[in-house]
Structure 1
Amino acid sequence: MDDLTDKFCRVVSFDTMTDKDLPDYSFTLRKKSLDYKHTRRSRTFMVATDLADYSEHALDWTTDNIMDDFDEIVILRVVTLDMNDKKANPLALGAKKSREDANQVMNHMMATASNLRKKISVIIEFVVGKVQDTIYRMLSMYQPSLLVVGTRGLSGFKGMMLSSVSKYCLQHSPVPVTIIKPENHTNKKPKRLIKLLRMASGGSIPTLSDYSSSKKAS
């Protein structure tokens, strides 16, 4: 088996962090298959997770079921901080761990894509800010065909109940939304939704009404 580092190459990445502007701290990690190329049929999928172990289910579901060659996946991690905390800089304390988590997820995606022999682009966005505002901003930036929210079943983001995050996404997202829990990984695949997303590679993007219809049909 070829070395995974030969299958992916790192492209543009950047870091910004200042003690004066902690809420705007973020980093982006990007990698892509050496054989990846963006085409007019390339689609983008966004997965919102907290980069915990169970989030692999949402990533695997997306990569395995709906991604094709030359598609792109954006993995979004949103962190909220109490800037009134008198302790040591909370963001600085977590920055190293956040990068370790991001690299671990990237390595997982590299291995998954290699095993599936898929040529894809992977972007990990780590953003500090309000969850709802950040999700909407990232959706506007990347304009994905689908937003996938990964969760362990009780909460999708630390300190925020799943109901509020998923409800916000379902009500305000300009693109279709699906919620993936760990048990969904082995459950029956939502064939109608997958079919609609496959159609997108032919030039049509499924709408929210299409997604609602797929939920009723499943």
Structure 2
Amino acid sequence: MPDADETSSGAFSFTLQVKSRGFMRTKNTRTFMVAVDDNAHSERALEWLMENLVEDGDEVVAVRILDEEAYQIDQEDAREEARELMASIVELNEEAEDRRISIVVEFVAGKVTPTILEIIHVYRPDSLTVGTQGKSANKFQKMLGQHHMGHVSRDILTSSPVPVVVVRPEAKVQKHLNKRQNDPKRRGYHNLVKGNGDLPMSITKKKRRSLQIPT
């Protein structure tokens, strides 16, 4: 990839963009947006996106919202963090051979929900990926830049015009799967169909005749 193009504007907004050599946007190009920060669950969401969704010819838009009211933004530090994030995404992409993609990194100061929605309308992504600590869907609010629990994450889930993919930590997912598998009340598909071969809600010929249902 060549050096990143950098642009910035008044109310702090910093954009980096790089494209793999040979990348060409086509009608099949998909755009995936991911909200990021320096938390482990956020990093896992980015890794999951790069490993499971992104393919040759796609675009990745990594967004970090900076709360200008809560923090005194050091613009040079923010630019350096954006460059480091870009470098990490490029490195993740290099793990996939012959995958030519476009990468955009957006660092924007503003209120979380309207800013995320504004960026969604600009890039029109196919989905938005966020990370969670696994305790609650609201936990990814921190990843979006908010440190106080509230209605912001719910607003994004309910207001987003595109699907929101919430990535949970692997350990949490495995714990949930193990709990389900060890549940004595759990009934799998093979349990439903074994025996007389009828699903619980199906109607046998005998039942149909007794109910006088025409065949």
TM, length-normalised to structure 1: 0.68
Separation in structure 1 between the aligned mates of residue 174 and residue 150 of structure 2, nearest angstrom: 21
Task: Note the C-alpha offset of 1:186.
Answer: 7.8
Q: Report how many residues are paired.
A: 168
**Residue in structure 1 matched with residue 77 of structure 2 by the alignment:** 97
Does the aligned pair in 2 maintain the 1:31–1:122 contact within 8 Å? yes
Does the aligned pair in 2 maintain the 1:27–1:125 contact within 8 Å? yes
Does the aligned pair in 1 maintain the 2:42–2:143 contact within 8 Å? no
Please say which structure displays the higher CA radius of gyration.
2
**Which runs of 5 or more structure 2 residues have no equivalent in the other structure?**
176-215
Q: Helix, strand or coil for the counterpart of 2:143? A: strand
* Change in CA separation of 1:53 and 1:105 when aligned onto 2, cut-off 3 Å: farther
**Residue in structure 2 matched with residue 193 of structure 1 by the alignment:** none
* Change in CA separation of 1:184 and 1:73 when aligned onto 2, cut-off 3 Å: farther
**Residue in structure 1 matched with residue 103 of structure 2 by the alignment:** 122
Task: Note the C-alpha offset of 1:127.
Answer: 0.5
Task: Note the C-alpha offset of 1:162.
Answer: 6.2
Q: Helix, strand or coil for the counterpart of 1:138? A: helix
**Residue in structure 2 matched with residue 215 of structure 1 by the alignment:** none
Separation in structure 1 between the aligned mates of residue 51 and residue 69 of structure 2, nearest angstrom: 37
User: What is the percent sequence identity of the aligned residues?
Assistant: 34
Deviations 1:54-104 (A, max 9, x none): 422111111110111010010111111228x8xxxx22xx22221222111
Q: RMSD of the alignment, in Å?
A: 2.5
Task: Note the C-alpha offset of 1:110.
Answer: 0.9
Task: Give 2:101's aligned amino acid.
Answer: I
Q: Which of 63, 84, 88 is matched with 1:108 structurally?
A: 88
Q: Which of 6, 13, 20 is matched with 1:33 structurally?
A: 20
**Residue in structure 2 matched with residue 143 of structure 1 by the alignment:** 124
Separation in structure 2 between the aligned mates of residue 163 and residue 183 of structure 1, nearest angstrom: 25
Does the aligned pair in 1 maintain the 2:12–2:75 contact within 8 Å? no
Q: Helix, strand or coil for the counterpart of 1:9? A: coil
Q: Helix, strand or coil for the counterpart of 1:147? A: strand
Q: Helix, strand or coil for the counterpart of 1:13? A: strand
**Residue in structure 1 matched with residue 45 of structure 2 by the alignment:** 58
**Which runs of 5 or more structure 1 residues have no equivalent in the other structure?**
1-7, 18-23, 189-218
Task: Note the C-alpha offset of 1:151.
Answer: 4.0
Separation in structure 2 between the aligned mates of residue 121 and residue 161 of structure 1, nearest angstrom: 33
